[in-house]
Structure 1
Amino acid sequence: MGEQQLSEKPASESKVSAEALIDTGIKGVQLFKVTDAVRCAPAIYEPAIIAIVSGTKEAILDGQRFSYGSDQYMCCTMSMPVEAGTPLASPEQPLLGVYISLDTKVMTELVIELASTTSVMKQPKHSDQSPSLSLATWDDSFTDALLRLLQLLANPTQMKILGDNRLREFYYAVLEGQAGQSVKRAFGMGNEIARSIEYLSAHLGKSVTIDELASQVGMSRAVFHRKFKQATTMSPIQFVKSMRLNNAAMRIASGENVSTAALAMGYVSSSQFSRDFKRLYGQSPKQWAQTK
């Protein structure tokens, strides 16, 4: 559905180049085009919607592989350590898509406003997918809202005047869609795990304990551990380690010295960093740097 309806809008595609994410002028909305096959590699997903117009994208979270194209969109509600890639992209069949950040303030306002206008609160439906990372099927409301948002790119005046409202309309379509329950849990009143991850992300280079994370959201260690794993599929310790190692791997891939990257992520022992890195990625940090 996504490719069929959006591919008719060349004005938006003309703004896309092969230089990865391209700002559109609407806050948090970026376009991307990938023409090279890229194997899955460490990355950090921030709260966002990733909608593919053409091609296929992949992400791996704690061993679970997500592969999606123009029939589904990716919804990430919290900062997550993943492996991401575009293994099928090519110059003949490029990956084209839209990356839309989820603004915490606006999303929280919408979730609370939506809850206040609903007389009976619906309980979240059970899902085999992680509430933090899930795939949702394009529906008519999502497609229409995304199309109306992208139509603004052809008119700078309309973009400036209507951009915020169209983005809010798009957020609402996500809330009402298949990923809605996950988004409501992350941005609603019971968003303790999302808040703990936000705190962790701001203190990755420091010594943050699980007890400290639990106390930040007013939970006991045991309750925090259980709820954290329900939300992310990982234990808090595993999550912290993955976030640090993924960030370090990204720094090394961009040319940063291995020791500097390790120190920036809170590792005081280079040997411990190398052991953890090799255990997760199957390569030593130096081998990883040589392959990038």
Structure 2
Amino acid sequence: MKQEIKELVNSRITEDGMVETGIKGVSLFKVTNAIPCAPAVYEPTVIVILSGKKEAILDGEYYVYDNSQYLCCTVSLPVEAGTPNASPDEPLLGIYISLDTKVMTELAIEMESSTSVVKLPKNSSQSPGMSLADWDDTFSDALLRLLQLGENKADIAILGESRLRELYYAVLKGNAGISARRAFGIGNQITRSIEYIAQYIEKNVTIDELASLVGMSRAVFHRKFKQATRMSPIQFIKSMRLNKAAMKIAEGMNVSEAALAVGYVSSSQFSRDFKRMYGQSPKQWRQSTDLIENIV
């Protein structure tokens, strides 16, 4: 089944880059050049690799995955991502599937309400916001059925949403299910707080404000947030700001504008924090990314 999926994708993307499938949130990508890991922000998504390897780094922890596992990111996360091993002989080929938070929430709550589904352990710790999951038959079958819609606009219009929903359900049932159901199901306070941070990244959001938003004490919020993201709220906000700024600079925005866009009032403080995190100044970063083409 994996081979059939790979052939479908290969037939639709012949050059480096990303290609929309026509199905909302589903894209195909191909990379034949090695790209070192660089700052990025992963939104809620599933990334499926069909050939080659991809890397993502979250707070110093490496996630290296290929066609044996897919990556599931359930919340917005500041990461470093790249394809350091891609080459013309061994290209990276894959599928990017954005997770619709509304649909995922509906499914997760339906699953938790169903007597036929095993409940999550009440006293288990919150799973990380990013995890690797083995392909299983349910996931493979749902992915194949989704891609078999091809480019037929009528098929996509009529069946696209239902087949995407089927894939989401496969994710929720699979190895990444605990992480996904905690993020999107009942009691998804940490996800809501991260959405709030992302929405107001340019503002001085405090921990007390976030804890109050989700109805937790400061101490409980801090603990649950770190369980979900591997970072404290302060570390997370700083990483998210700097990663977003690095992406804006790589896209051509000047350093001062990028700093202001993510909430830095002082350009000198921004430069110090940037160099501390990435080992080079914002201007050096821009020069080093001139030849790097961004990919998911």
Query: TM-score scaled by structure 1?
Result: 0.94
Q: Would you say 1:134 and 2:131 are equivalent positions?
A: yes
Query: What does residue range 168-183 of structure 1 map to in structure 2 within 5 Å?
Result: 168-183=165-180
2:141 to 140, 144, 162: 144
1:217 to 201, 214, 218: 214
> How far does the alpha carbon of each residue in 1:57-98 deviate from its partner, in whole angstroms, 9 at most, with x for none?
000000000000000000000000000000111122211101
Tell me how many residue pairs correspond in the alignment: 288
Query: What does residue range 5-154 of structure 1 map to in structure 2 within 5 Å?
Result: 5-9=4-8, 12-118=9-115, 121-123=119-121, 131-154=128-151
* Deviation at residue 211 of structure 1 after TM alignment: 1.1
* Deviation at residue 8 of structure 1 after TM alignment: 3.6
**SS at 1:205 equivalent:** coil
Preserved CA contact (<8 Å) 2:16 2:32: no
* Deviation at residue 14 of structure 1 after TM alignment: 2.8
Q: Which runs of 5+ in 1 are unaligned?
A: none
Q: Would you say 1:233 and 2:245 are equivalent positions?
A: no
2:251 to 246, 250, 254: 254
> How far, CA to CA, are the matches of 2:127 and 2:38 in structure 1?
20
Q: Would you say 1:272 and 2:272 are equivalent positions?
A: no
Counterparts in 2 of 1:63 and 1:124: CA distance versus 1, 3 Å: farther
1:207 to 204, 207, 213: 204
Q: What residue in structure 1 maps to residue 294 of structure 2? A: none
Aligned AA (2:288): T
**SS at 1:152 equivalent:** coil
Q: What residue in structure 2 maps to residue 157 of structure 1? A: 154
Counterparts in 2 of 1:137 and 1:146: CA distance versus 1, 3 Å: same
> How far, CA to CA, are the matches of 2:123 and 2:4 in structure 1?
29
1:263 to 254, 260, 263: 260
Preserved CA contact (<8 Å) 2:204 2:263: yes
* Deviation at residue 15 of structure 1 after TM alignment: 2.5
> How far, CA to CA, are the matches of 1:209 and 1:53 in structure 2?
41
Q: What residue in structure 1 maps to residue 293 of structure 2? A: none
Preserved CA contact (<8 Å) 1:142 1:177: yes
1:283 to 260, 280, 284: 280
> How far, CA to CA, are the matches of 2:157 and 2:184 in structure 1?
26
> How far, CA to CA, are the matches of 2:33 and 2:141 in structure 1?
30
Q: Would you say 1:197 and 2:194 are equivalent positions?
A: yes
Preserved CA contact (<8 Å) 1:59 1:65: yes
Preserved CA contact (<8 Å) 2:120 2:178: no
**SS at 1:7 equivalent:** helix
> How far does the alpha carbon of each residue in 1:7-53 deviate from its partner, in whole angstroms, 9 at most, with x for none?
243xx333325352221110111111111100000000000000011
Counterparts in 2 of 1:154 and 1:255: CA distance versus 1, 3 Å: closer
* Deviation at residue 207 of structure 1 after TM alignment: 1.3
> How far, CA to CA, are the matches of 1:17 and 1:252 in structure 2?
29
Q: Relative to structure 2, which stretch is displaced further, 181-190 or 12-21?
A: 12-21
Counterparts in 2 of 1:271 and 1:154: CA distance versus 1, 3 Å: closer
> How far does the alpha carbon of each residue in 1:217-258 deviate from its partner, in whole angstroms, 9 at most, with x for none?
111111110100011000000000000000000111111100
Q: Which runs of 5+ in 2 are unaligned?
A: 290-296
Q: What residue in structure 1 maps to residue 240 of structure 2? A: 243
> How far, CA to CA, are the matches of 1:32 and 1:121 in structure 2?
36
